[in-house]
Structure 1
Amino acid sequence: MEIREKILTNLRAVKERTPLIHHITNYVTVNDCANIVLALGGSPVMADDQEEVAEMVGFASALVLNIGTLNSRTIESMLLAGKRAKELGVPVVLDPVGVGATHLRTNTARKLIQELNPDVIRGNMSEICVLAGEEVAIKGVDSLADEQNGAVIAQKLASSLKCVIAITGKTDVVSDGEQLCLLDNGHRILADVTGTGCMTSSLVGTYCGAAKDYFSAAIAGIATMGLAGEIAQASLRHGEGIGTFRARLFDSIYHLTPEQLAQESKVRHE
């Protein structure tokens, strides 16, 4: 099946199945992540207490782990939920926010990868470079790495970890170690809104919860955010800025059709 057809099929599957997506995520963007899942057609749950995470995973179609605001309690919850997800065959999506910025983030990301073997890891170029053992500069949780070798790094890391690696940036890169896809949707204004990366990981998780092909699910999630960003930005009028853009980003995803996503996604399957 050609990649555009898979993207179309994946969005149809989300709309039909309304997958429950369990998040253990950061408190900066938790509300946006919940709403972006709803906008796409999924159902979000944000449960992070150790007493219920394993049970909640039992009801979920996918688990999204985001290390944006780490603490010792949520780290343990991520490990408990992730191990239960792997027992049940529930896909795990890891967003290693700011990995490399501090020892806590780096050590936690590596422990989650080692113990949980995530199905998809989605990050910016700096974050993926850190996981790949590359030397990069980090500014808080923002990427300072260039994207020149993104395809090579994604492919090698995906092969090494036996998972899908998704790098978001000016040109997005998705690889499962064998296949490689480049995406060119999006607009630079997406970087001016806090949480668009986190929301993209939630979109990827939603697609993973509806389709078992996690490579095409990652592509669909990233393409959805990129295309919605283009649509939302194009709708702005004089005097409107990132606040209006943020609201219209949700609207654009809410109204996005499978056919529109497939036709307007700028996807290159290498």
Structure 2
Amino acid sequence: MVVNMINRVREQRPLIHHITNAVVMNFTANGLLAFGGSPIMANAKQEVADVTRLSQGLLLNIGTLHEDQVEAMILAGKAANEIGIPLVLDPVGAPATRYRSDACQRILQEVKPTVIKGNAGELAHLVNQDVETKGVDSTGEADHEAIVRLVAEKYQTGVVCTGEKDVGCMEDEVFVNETGHPYLAQITGSGCLLGSLLTASLTVEGNPEDHLMATLSHYGRAAEEAAAHPDVEGPGTFIPRFIDALAMEVET
């Protein structure tokens, strides 16, 4: 499953349009290239719809949000829906401020995502549940399976909840990924990059649930591989090894 999906991505090199967190654009672009996709990042509302129509997938990430960007996301999202390409929404820090919360609802009222990806606090907020957060991070206890089911039902979409274990829901089927490493929680943008790779995986033919699970598994295994490298001493030395590991050949 993992081999087939990743090989298809690498053969097709899907162009993924990102309207994303300015803090992590370079890391996201390099990570997607290593995985096998091709990044493009356009934010001007005057061109986002046109860029989306040239692309095979769209990622909307509200990490460094502003009003023009919300408008751009809606325009790009509508274009993605019109041409039928996968769209992943990452509601980064949605519970942190009223502005972010309202922006998420505006986007979700206008745009139909294929998958919503976030941590437990972000996803719980979308369904009016309370999970403790600190900034953009989820810090409280939560029933991840219950949360993904609630979000999937409310928005009629696939859902991925990231954490020590990743829990997803697609077409009423819940799946769990247990690969990964604690260093992922100690670097900026690990979740943002994951959203990009999930978008790329959804562009290839096959079962979307299988593609999401395969991506989560590969991402976690790449983190494990990178952390085990003898020259990795902490989060700083982990990052380049992690990018390398995302590009590794996948074994059957």
- Class of the TM-score when normalised by the shorter of the 2 chains: over 0.9
Structure 1 counterpart of 2:192: 198
| In 2: Cα distance, 1:35 partner to 1:114 partner | 32
Letter in 1 for 2:54: F
Letter in 2 for 1:104: Y
Alignment gaps of 5+ in structure 2? none
Aligned counterpart in structure 2 of residue 22 of structure 1, from 17, 22, 44: 17
Aligned counterpart in structure 1 of residue 241 of structure 2, from 238, 244, 248: 248
Against the structure 1 CA distance between its residues 103 and 49, is the aligned structure 2 distance closer, same or farther, given a 3 Å change threshold?
Answer: same
1:159 is displaced (CA, Å) by 2.3
CA RMSD of aligned residues (A): 1.4
Residue 255 of structure 1 aligns to a residue whose secondary structure is coil
Against the structure 1 CA distance between its residues 211 and 95, is the aligned structure 2 distance closer, same or farther, given a 3 Å change threshold?
Answer: farther
Identity rate, percent: 38
| In 2: Cα distance, 1:176 partner to 1:223 partner | 16
1:138 is displaced (CA, Å) by 1.9
1:171 is displaced (CA, Å) by 1.0
Residue 98 of structure 1 aligns to a residue whose secondary structure is coil
Alignment gaps of 5+ in structure 1? 261-270
| In 1: Cα distance, 2:209 partner to 2:107 partner | 20
Structure 1 counterpart of 2:115: 120
1:211 is displaced (CA, Å) by 3.5
Letter in 1 for 2:49: A
| In 2: Cα distance, 1:230 partner to 1:184 partner | 11
Q: Which moved more, 1:215-224 or 1:94-103?
A: 215-224
Question: Where do residues 134-153 of structure 1 align in structure 2 (5 Å cutoff)?
Answer: 134-147=129-142, 149-153=143-147
Aligned counterpart in structure 2 of residue 57 of structure 1, from 34, 52, 55: 52
In the alignment, structure 1 residue 166 sits paired with structure 2 residue 182 = no
In the alignment, structure 1 residue 223 sits paired with structure 2 residue 217 = yes
1:168 is displaced (CA, Å) by 0.7
| In 2: Cα distance, 1:90 partner to 1:209 partner | 7
Contact kept, 8 Å, 1:53 with 1:77, in 2: the verdict is yes
| In 2: Cα distance, 1:152 partner to 1:188 partner | 24
TM-score (norm 2): 0.96
1:144 is displaced (CA, Å) by 1.3
In the alignment, structure 1 residue 74 sits paired with structure 2 residue 69 = yes
How many residues are matched? 252
Aligned counterpart in structure 2 of residue 176 of structure 1, from 170, 177, 198: 170
In the alignment, structure 1 residue 109 sits paired with structure 2 residue 109 = no
| In 1: Cα distance, 2:220 partner to 2:204 partner | 20
1:225 is displaced (CA, Å) by 1.7
1:256 is displaced (CA, Å) by 3.5
After superposition, the C-alpha distances for 1:101-148 in whole angstroms (9 at most, x for unaligned) are 00111111122122112000110111111112101222111111224x
Letter in 1 for 2:213: I
| In 1: Cα distance, 2:64 partner to 2:230 partner | 32
1:213 is displaced (CA, Å) by 3.4
Aligned counterpart in structure 2 of residue 39 of structure 1, from 34, 38, 49: 34
Aligned counterpart in structure 2 of residue 13 of structure 1, from 8, 26, 30: 8
1:177 is displaced (CA, Å) by 4.4
Structure 2 counterpart of 1:234: 228
Letter in 1 for 2:124: C
Letter in 1 for 2:226: A
Q: Which moved more, 1:95-104 or 1:220-229?
A: 220-229
After superposition, the C-alpha distances for 1:207-249 in whole angstroms (9 at most, x for unaligned) are 11223533223222222221111111111447x2212100000
TM-score (norm 1): 0.89
Structure 2 counterpart of 1:263: none
Against the structure 1 CA distance between its residues 256 and 157, is the aligned structure 2 distance closer, same or farther, given a 3 Å change threshold?
Answer: same
| In 1: Cα distance, 2:65 partner to 2:230 partner | 35
Structure 2 counterpart of 1:48: 43
Residue 10 of structure 2 aligns to a residue whose secondary structure is helix
Q: Which moved more, 1:14-23 or 1:154-163?
A: 154-163
